[in-house]
Amino acid sequence: MTRYLLSLCLGWLMLSQTLHAQVTLKPGFDPIEYGQLLSLTFYGSSIPDSNQRKMVKDPYQLNYRSPETGLLNRWQFFVRNDNVGVIELRGTIQQLASWLENFYGAMVPAKGMLQLNDSTRFDYTFSEDPKAMVHAGWTIGIGHIGPSIVNKIREMYETQQIKEILIVGHSQGGALSQLLRSYLHYEQKAGRIPGDVFFKTYSSAAPKTGNLFYAYDFDFITRGSWALTVVNSADWVPETPFSIQTLKDFNQTNPFTEAKPILKKQKLLVRLAGKIIYNKIDRSTRRAQKRMGKYLGPMVYKQVKQFLPQLQQPQYAGGNNFMRAGTPVVLLADAEYYTRFPEFSQFKFSHHLYASYSYLLKKHYP
């Protein structure tokens, strides 16, 4: 009996340790965790104070830094002292190629292929919904870094048994973090990433990455608050890109898509007035979308070709109905905030950088 009880206790202890090892990351917003990751995206260290860095060992240690690739994208892999991996995606840098990735705002299907150069084809899935669309420029970004990130995840799984991974990015890096999370989900589903690796994502100051049906898919695969999108309410970057909703962006059961047959059944005056209003609304949104697609698609592509001469122009999806994705965490700017960071500052990024985000984080989550 004693031997049986001892075996039972040892078995329970081993099971408890195994379960504990699998629950280091918790769902939902952790302000301390986000604060460390926010500092990591700006300073390459979770300790923002340069003097304190000299006295305190950073719990996040750099394991790998990628070369610049594509439109000057770069990512880093850190290992936290509790054996949690961190994939950090760099945001926009002050070079034209990096900005063009943002401006290339036409939409492409969320499942498709890009021919990045004569020898490199990028097959991707960000959503299996045929109605889902995503930002062309950031899709190119993931095309250049996604496969190498998958290889790194497998390497760290095999060599250091890292099974929990944080994904973080600020600004352009925030947009990339969402597309990367979607990409990794479907890579894992296809068996190219071990099934017991799981992810938590912080998309900081991220612009909108896809349409409503992409957002639905993203929020579903990260359900339970495993993907947070953190915004300063005074920051203009999360408001971009422009969103234009046309009748094509509705589900087929939406009554607005069947407005013409319904109007035909109405009395003459109602039918005429309704048809005039309906046609004006429909025509104006379609024209706006067509114009936006032209400027942010083929015209920007010509500029992108200067930096990626072998990139083949992708098939556009014909939409611009950009929507936000992820569990929202709003850092609300109030009157006290605007005394420190004036609303109409000539520096247009004053509400977008570390100081403003860190201030609101400490204010709302002391």
Closest of 137, 133, 129 to residue 108, by C-alpha: 133
pTM of this structure = 0.89
Give me 8's structure tokens. 């039972």
Mean pLDDT of the chain: 90
Residues 6+ apart with CB under 8 A from 145: 66, 69, 70, 73, 74, 75, 89, 176, 180
pLDDT tens digits, one per residue of 279-289: 666 677 888 78
In this prediction, residue 293 carries a pLDDT of 83
Instruction: List alpha helices for 22-47, DSSP H.
Output: 31-43
pLDDT in tens, the chain (366 residues): 455 444 544 454 444 444 444 569 999 999 999 999 999 999 999 999 999 999 999 999 999 999 999 999 999 999 999 999 999 999 999 999 999 999 999 999 999 999 999 999 999 999 999 999 999 999 999 999 999 999 999 999 999 999 999 999 999 999 999 999 999 999 999 999 999 999 999 999 999 999 999 999 999 999 999 999 999 999 999 999 989 988 787 887 766 555 556 555 565 555 555 555 666 666 778 887 888 888 899 999 999 999 999 999 999 998 999 999 999 999 999 999 999 999 888 888 999 999 999 999 999 999
CB-count burial class (<10 Å; 0-12, 13-18, 19+) for 190: exposed
Alpha-carbon span 88 to 81, nearest angstrom? 16
Which residues are paired to 327 by β-bridges? 228
Distance in angstroms (rounded) separating the CA atoms of residues 349 and 167: 24
